[in-house]
Chains A and B, each alone.
Chain A
Amino acid sequence: MIHRPHVDWFALSPSLAMIGATAVLLLVAVLVPRRARKPVAAAGAGAGFVAAFVLAVVLAAKSPGAKVEIADSIFRDRWAALAQVLVAGCGVVAVLLSYGERWREEHLAEYYALLTAAGAGMAFFVQASNLMTLFLGLEWFSISLYVLCAIDIDLVGSLEAGLKYLIVGAVGSATLLFGSALVYGATGQLGFDRIGSAGHTHDSLLVLGLAMVIAGLAFKASAAPFHMWTPDAYTGAPTPVTAFMSSATKVAALVVTYRLLVTAFPGEEHLWTWAIAGIACASLAIGNIAALAQRNVKRLLAYSSVSHAGFMLIPIAAANALGARALLYYLIPYCAMSLGAFGAIAARERELGVPVTLDNLAGFGWERPLLGGAMATFMLGFLGFPPTGGFLGKFYAFSAAYRHGWWWLIVVGVAATIVSAAYYLAVIRAMYFRESAELQLAPAGGSPPRDLPLQTGVVLCLAVTIGSFFAVQPLIDAAHAAAGALPF
């Protein structure tokens, strides 16, 4: 007779809500007539994400202490629950951004099904408390994302994006798996906290395993030098998918990285803080310098997301409670800005019918005041200007670095920000400083389409970007409670 563990269904509920939505959407793909499929599928996916959002909020409220559930395989705590809130929130906005995209009718429901499946995988991934569930969650959402990248076969580069992401992602997954095996070999344990108590710093097997695990997770966070898939995948993928990838994947990867490092490898802190700081510096340098040379806006934002991975690794390298708060706080405006910026690009793409570059962005700010103003705000937020949450995110990240005693990391971050001013402001310059009359455009025809869901999504992102600047205290309180789940 097999021993069956006690299953805490409520702890799994955010994932389950999204899996449920996936199942429903797959049925929608075959049962609902083609005409009604678009609204029904979008509504189903939206309902799944909203349900997951609400359940994650409730889960956060009802999990005051950190507990390991279901045969030590998942955590039930606020750190994971808050990350799930963010992932589900990103999903809701991604659905809004996707609605107006010109998808092939026959794969519409499958698209939304994959989106919710990816969300469910991330929600599961952030709860992982042993190396098995960690890898399972990672593959779960990665495979969904590979397909999502390649789903729009009419789009030039979409297939290429999916393939590149698949191949490089597979290397990343393999590295993570190999590293996990080494860690298991060194300690004989799978659970994070047990690895933490069993590991010995002088065990070179463990250290090698740690290095490979960090590399594997850095692939997902698209931190340099593991970022090489990012520009191609972000550029080639359908823009709503890019928006979801750049926000939710980053939440999942970074949140799990922090948890894994402080829970499973507290004895090796002197090693991994330096490793993470090194990766952060590399990301800041490569992301910002490469972004300077870009004309394609999606590619520019892809490099910008590499550089932001660097900024968000700074609080991880700090390895203190302030850093944990800083990471969770930073992720909130970052997700909003990233989703919103790609949303605005999607709108421009739909009205032009060609990839958006800095040149054909000319006059966008005057033609579409709402989207242009929002896009400008997101750029200023990425740059870290008030009044956006991006400013305070950087402030917190730098503070965490200082608390760790690493003032030089602040200097690196500041230098990177100065460089980034050049390309973020270039986007604003492209939108406002030139008239569209100066350029010969190839419009898709007619006046720009009314896209209410997309505008709603962008306005939501705008509200979060600016709101997180003013309402810092409640967000920091939530992050504080979440960080309490980590052992500091």
Chain B
Amino acid sequence: MTNWLTTILIVLPAAGALLVWLVPMPRRWVGSLSTLVALVEVGVWIAALERFDFDRGGLQLDQRHTWFRDLGVSWHVGQFAFSLWLVGLTVVCGAAASMYAWWVGRERPRAYFGLLLFLTGAVVGVFSAQDLLVFYAFFEAMLVPLYVLIGVWGGAGRMRATITFVVYTVAGSLLMLAAIVVYGLQQGTFDLTRMGTSSNDWLFLGFAIAFAVKAPLWPFHGWLPAAYRESPAEVSALLSGVISKVAAYGFLRIAIRQFPGPTHDLRVPILVLASIGLVYGSLLAFRAPDIRGVVAYSSLAQMGLITYGLFAANALGTDGAVLQMVNHGLISTTLFLLAGMVERRAATGELVLLGGMARGRPALATVLMATGVIALAVPLSSNFAGEFLILAGVFQQGWGWGVVGAGAIVLAAMYMLRLISAVLHEQPGPAVTDAALDLRGAELGIVVPLVGLLIALSAWPAAISGHSFP
């Protein structure tokens, strides 16, 4: 069965990138053109969603062409229900990032927007790939635009940030390449849908470490603080909102499915790492001196929670994990974009210099408050639904995990409330002047749809949790 939709989803942003890079055009067209491409991409995804048969389950909208025969590699892309949700997250966040960059007016727009589009295409490719080598190619292809986006448009400490980022991720992903070569040649094909499972612990570790670095899971998070702080706001948004989900997806699609034996053997150590990350990340988020630090470390904590769900090894846990991936993706994208907006007004993200921004800025206060409240998982929010499912799932592995997870949710409330009050309430900080205006219409146009999606998911979390593994 051949269906072009998935291929279009991957190729459209890449083609947009080439268009922006190669075709001469006036500078001011570039932002609008890229945003247009990103929005069309969202439209294509909606079309894919319409055609996806959630009653049937399994791999759909797939396409397969032989790439090279002798090693059994093919261009095989398609969607599972859960990957379709993650693709949706990617295209929505990609569009938001593109709009924000357009609004901010990044320098060297042709290079910048081309790289953003290329990145979107590569991430969609990772979520859609059904062939290990294609998966790896997209996984590596993500790194290049990120490297340049941080290195060229990043903050003052960008050199160090890019070097640590690249060293960690390249080391992780090349170990995965070794594992892929061995695993694929053992199986005689690289097509994930045709490969059998393996019980080799070393191969599993090759994959698991790559994903643990990308996520990041404790103790592989060394690149995280610098990368999240020094990137342009929308790139941080994509890094924590979307790219980290690539790792979770990799665990779900490859590590857990193809290596059931090692997953079972190594479950406890992985859950321990996730617990440490969860608590440690939450504590660091509570202590972080700036907005981005809070969001970055909360991201580390949330990835620990998602790993909990994935390795709970039951339907509750994985359903919750997929829902939580989408939730966290939307939340951290929104928070990073808001951090960027605040930084543009106050010229700093240091919490001690901020404060009192709610007075006279109702729109900013409302959006930040709404996002923060969903992020700290108040009952009825989509985050609450996701975390509840994850905790219920991991509880079946042992009540201790459930206790740690529940404790971490309390910590999440602490750091989120600290962030909200440090930015919005208290006395006006020295960096907050009257010249710092409320959010403008264009900015609201970017973040309000994201918050709207979160509220819609809060109303109907089963849209994702009930439609991920039909």
From known contacts A403-B185, A433-B158, A473-B66, infer whether A421 and B71 are also in contact, taking CB-CB under 8 Å: no
Query: Quick check: is A32 within 8 A (CB to CB) of the other chain?
Result: no
Nearest 6 interchain pairs by C-beta: A386-B137, A472-B68, A433-B151, A414-B174, A421-B170, A398-B181
From residue B421, how far is it (CB to closest CB) to chain A in Å? Answer: 38
Interface string of B175-212 (1 = CB under 8 A from A): 10110011001000000000000000000000000000
Does A407 count as interface, using CB distance less than 8 angstroms? yes
Additional 11 contacts, C-beta under 8 A, given A402-B181, A410-B182, A476-B68: A380-B144, A385-B141, A387-B137, A395-B181, A398-B181, A399-B71, A407-B178, A421-B167, A429-B162, A432-B151, A433-B158
Is A308 part of the contact surface with B, judged by Cβ < 8 Å? no
Q: Which residues of A contact B (CB under 8 A)?
A: 322, 325, 366, 373, 380, 385-387, 391, 394-396, 398-399, 402-403, 407, 410-411, 414, 417-418, 421-422, 425, 428-429, 432-433, 472-473, 476, 480
Q: Which residues of A contact B21 (CB under 8 A)?
A: 373
Checking A373, A396, A398 against B177 with a beta-carbon cut-off of 8 angstroms, the contacting residue is A398
Give min CB distance, A391 to chain B, whole Å: 7
Assess whether B174 is in contact with A473, with CB atoms less than 8 Å apart. no
- Please give the residue numbers on chain B whose beta carbons come within 8 Å of chain A beta carbons, in ascending order: 21, 66-71, 108, 133, 137-138, 140-141, 143-144, 147-148, 151-152, 158-159, 162, 166-167, 170-171, 174-175, 177-178, 181-182, 185
- B134 and chain A: residue at smallest CB distance: A386
Shortest CB distance B300–A (Å):
24
B140 A386 Cβ-Cβ under 8 A: yes
B181 and A399 form a contact (CB under 8 A): yes
Bound-complex Cα distance A281 to B277 (A): 38
Q: Roughly how many angstroms separate A228 CA and B190 CA in the complex, as a whole number?
A: 40
The answer to whether B70 touches A385 (Cβ under 8 A) is: no
Q: What's the Cα separation between A386 and B142 when bound, in Å?
A: 10
Please state if A322 and B70 are interface contacts (CB–CB under 8 Å): yes
Q: Which residue of A lies closest to B154 (CB)?
A: A433
Contact A414 B175 (CB under 8 A): yes
Q: When the two chains form the complex, which single residue of B141, B143, B152, B174 contacts A418, counting CB atoms closer than 8 Å?
A: B174
The winner among A322, A386, A391 for most chain B CB atoms within 10 A is A386
> Quick check: A428 and B148 within 8 Å, CB to CB?
yes
Tell me the complex Cα distance, A213–B293, Å: 60
Q: Which residues of the partner chain B approach A421 to less than 8 Å between Cβ atoms?
A: 166-167, 170
Taken together as a complex, chains A and B put the C-alpha atoms of A385 and B137 apart, in Å, by 8
Contact, CB under 8 Å: A476 / B140: no
Contact A414 B178 (CB under 8 A): yes
Minimum distance in angstroms from B285 CB to a CB of chain A:
30
Q: Are B159 and A433 in contact (CB under 8 A)?
A: yes
Residues of B close to A394: CB separation below 8 A: 177
Query: What's the minimum C-beta distance from B69 to chain A, rounded to whole angstroms?
Result: 7
Contact partners of A403 in chain B: CB under 8 A: 185
Q: Are A433 and B178 in contact (CB under 8 A)?
A: no
- Chain B: minimal CB distance from A278 (Å): 20
CB distance from B63 to the nearest CB of A (A): 16
Residue among B70, B159, B175 making CB contact with A476, cutoff 8 Å: B70
Are B178 and A398 in contact (CB-based, < 8 A)?
A: yes
Contact between B152 and A432 (Cβ–Cβ < 8 Å)? yes
From A380, A387, A480, contact of B70 by CB (8 A): A480
Bound-state CA distance A326–B204 (Å) is 26
* B457 CB → nearest A CB, Å: 34
The distance in angstroms between the C-alpha atoms of A220 and B291, with both chains bound, is 58
Is B181 a contact of A473 with CB atoms below 8 Å? no
Residues of A contacting B67 with CB < 8 Å?
Answer: 472-473
**In the complex the two chains form, is A425's CB within 8 Å of B166's CB?**
yes
The residue in chain B whose Cβ has the minimal distance to the Cβ of A411 is B178
Residue of chain A at shortest CB distance from B177 = A414
CA distance A366 to B213 in the complex (A): 32
B185 and A473 contact, CB distance less than 8 A: no
Report the separation of the CA atoms of residues A322 and B70 in the bound assembly, to the nearest whole angstrom: 9
Q: When chains A and B are docked, how far (Å) is the Cα of A480 from the Cα of B166? A: 36
Q: Give the CA-CA distance A472 to B177 in the complex, in Å.
A: 19
Q: List 27 A-B contacts (CB under 8 A).
A: A322-B70, A325-B70, A373-B21, A380-B144, A385-B143, A385-B144, A386-B138, A386-B140, A391-B137, A399-B181, A402-B182, A403-B185, A410-B181, A410-B182, A417-B174, A418-B174, A425-B147, A425-B166, A428-B147, A429-B159, A429-B162, A432-B148, A432-B151, A433-B152, A473-B66, A473-B67, A473-B69
Q: Which residues of B contact A387 (CB under 8 A)?
A: 137, 141
Most chain B beta-carbon neighbours within 10 Å: one of A403, A422, A472: A472
CA distance A418 to B209 in the complex (A): 15
Most chain A CB inside 10 Å of its own CB: which residue of B137, B141, B170: B170
Which residue of the partner chain A has the closest CB to B151? A433
